[in-house]
């Protein structure tokens, strides 16, 4: 399999797809392309990017192609035996899938106003009203998952799973912008950052030379 991803410093959807590949336990080659450099418009029109219309991540498995992070999660879940991505308990699985889908479709203000930037930590600033609402909803989801299904594990449903992969870039945003989170969330966030796959990704981001100016601006005061 070959996973095409964008800059590890900035590409949050790529991080989700990459964590899904790791979670599958299957061998894969990763190809990192610099987003928005001078060759980007030409590159994204190439055959390898055509199925996703020039977006990353995109997973090639021989002739099979899967794009869009959540589709990659489900493809790899099936391909790797169906027991690594989602909780075994049906109620837990229903909630985990709902949370992953909500992450995929929602939290536009957080994503727009606080783009992922793994290499930076900015001084804390009050979030906008819309971002504060996104944070409150995420806290509510995390708290319920942890309380009902976290058990002894460190992650939302105990073991690291697909839902943690989907929320991992949110964790890095909370840290980068020092956004206000509930006390209980701090230990979950520490567990995400300490996970060996996250450490590998963060190391990769630190090693990149590429800088995208538009993602380097700290948030405006509200
Ligand atoms: N919904 C898609 C989003 C993919 C996406 O927007 N990727 C961004 C990078 S994080 C991208 O490829 N941007 C390049 C562009 O739009 O030209 C997913 O879940 O994979």
Q: For 80-108, give the DSSP string.
A: TTSSSSS-SSHHHHHHHHHHHHHHHH--H
Whether residue 188 is contained in a domain is answered as yes
If one counts the domains in the chain, the total is: 2
3-state secondary structure of 125: coil
The dihedral through the CA atoms of 216, 202, 197, 44 has a sign that is: positive
- Residue 108 and residue 198 in one domain: yes
Q: What is the pLDDT of residues 181-214, one digit of tens each?
A: 999 999 999 999 999 999 999 999 999 999 999 9
Whether residue 221 is contained in a domain is answered as no
Whether the CB of 32 sits within 6 Å of ligand 1: no
Distance 148 CA to ligand 1 centre (A): 32
Which atom of ligand 1 is closest in space to residue 36's alpha carbon? 17
The pLDDT of residue 217: 81
Distance 34 CA to ligand 1 centre (A): 13
Beta bridge partners of 67: 58
The pLDDT of residue 218: 75
Q: Which of 9-18, 19-28, 122-131, 209-218 has the lowest mean pLDDT?
A: 209-218
Question: Contact at 8 Å (CB) between 215 and 10?
Answer: yes
Q: What is the pLDDT of residues 147-173, one digit of tens each?
A: 999 999 999 999 999 999 999 999 999
Q: In this structure, which residue's CA is closest to atom 20 in ligand 1?
A: 68
The pLDDT of residue 67: 98
- Whether the per-residue pLDDT at 25 is higher than 90: the answer is yes
- Residue 53 and residue 108 in one domain: no
Q: What would the mean pLDDT of 120-126 be, rounded to a whole number?
A: 95
- Residue 35 and residue 98 in one domain: no
Nearest to residue 183, comparing CAs of 130, 131, 139?
Answer: 139
Whether residue 6 is contained in a domain is answered as yes
Token pair 């949110």 is found at 170
Alpha-carbon span 156 to 167, nearest angstrom = 10
Nearest to residue 164, comparing CAs of 174, 155, 177?
Answer: 155
Q: What is the pLDDT of residues 37-92, one digit of tens each?
A: 999 999 999 999 999 999 999 999 999 999 999 999 999 999 999 999 999 999 99
Whether residue 70 is contained in a domain is answered as yes
- Residue 51 and residue 123 in one domain: no
Q: In this structure, which residue's CA is closest to atom 11 in ligand 1?
A: 55
Which among 13, 33, 170 is the best mutation to test ligand 1's pocket, defined by most ligand atoms within 8 Å of the CB? 13
- Residue 20 and residue 72 in one domain: yes
**Domain with 36 in it:** 2-83
- Residue 19 and residue 127 in one domain: no
Q: In this structure, which residue's CA is closest to atom 2 in ligand 1?
A: 68
Distance 54 CA to ligand 1 centre (A): 8
- Residue 94 and residue 195 in one domain: yes
- Residue 184 and residue 97 in one domain: yes
Element (H, E) at 45: none
- Residue 95 and residue 123 in one domain: yes
The pLDDT of residue 99: 98
What CATH number is associated with residue 124? 1.20.1050.10
Q: What would the mean pLDDT of 1-17 be, rounded to a whole number?
A: 98
Q: Where are the beta strands (DSSP E) in the chain?
A: 2-5, 29-32, 58-61, 64-67
Banded pLDDT at 220 (limits 50, 70, 90) = low
pTM: 0.97
Banded pLDDT at 30 (limits 50, 70, 90) = very high
- Residue 112 and residue 70 in one domain: no
- Whether the per-residue pLDDT at 146 is higher than 60: the answer is yes
Whether the CB of 51 sits within 6 Å of ligand 1: no
Whether the CB of 134 sits within 6 Å of ligand 1: no
Q: What would the mean pLDDT of 171-184 be, rounded to a whole number?
A: 97
Whether residue 119 is contained in a domain is answered as yes
- Residue 58 and residue 120 in one domain: no
Whether residue 222 is contained in a domain is answered as no
């Amino acid at each position: 399999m070959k996973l095409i991803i964008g800059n590890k410093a900035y590409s949050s959807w790529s991080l989700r797809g990459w964590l899904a590949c790791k979670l599958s336990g299957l061998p894969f080659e990763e190809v990192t392309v610099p987003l928005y450099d001078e060759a980007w418009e030409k590159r994204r029109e190439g055959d390898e990017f055509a199925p996703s219309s020039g977006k990353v991540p995109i997973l090639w498995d021989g002739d099979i192609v899967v794009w869009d992070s959540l589709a990659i999660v489900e493809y790899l879940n099936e391909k790797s035996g169906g027991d690594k991505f989602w909780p075994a308990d049906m109620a837990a699985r229903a909630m985990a899938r709902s949370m992953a889908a909500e992450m995929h479709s929602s939290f536009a203000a957080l994503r727009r106003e606080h783009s992922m930037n793994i290499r930076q930590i900015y001084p804390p600033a009050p979030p906008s009203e819309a971002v504060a609402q996104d944070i409150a909803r995420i806290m509510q989801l995390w708290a319920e998952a942890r309380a009902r299904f976290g058990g002894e594990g460190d992650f939302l449903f105990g073991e690291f799973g697909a839902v943690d992969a989907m929320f991992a870039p949110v964790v890095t945003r909370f840290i980068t912008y020092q956004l206000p989170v509930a006390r209980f969330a701090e230990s979950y966030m520490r567990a995400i950052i300490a996970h060996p796959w996250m450490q590998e990704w963060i190391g990769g981001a630190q090693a990149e030379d590429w800088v995208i100016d538009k993602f380097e601006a700290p948030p405006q005061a509200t």
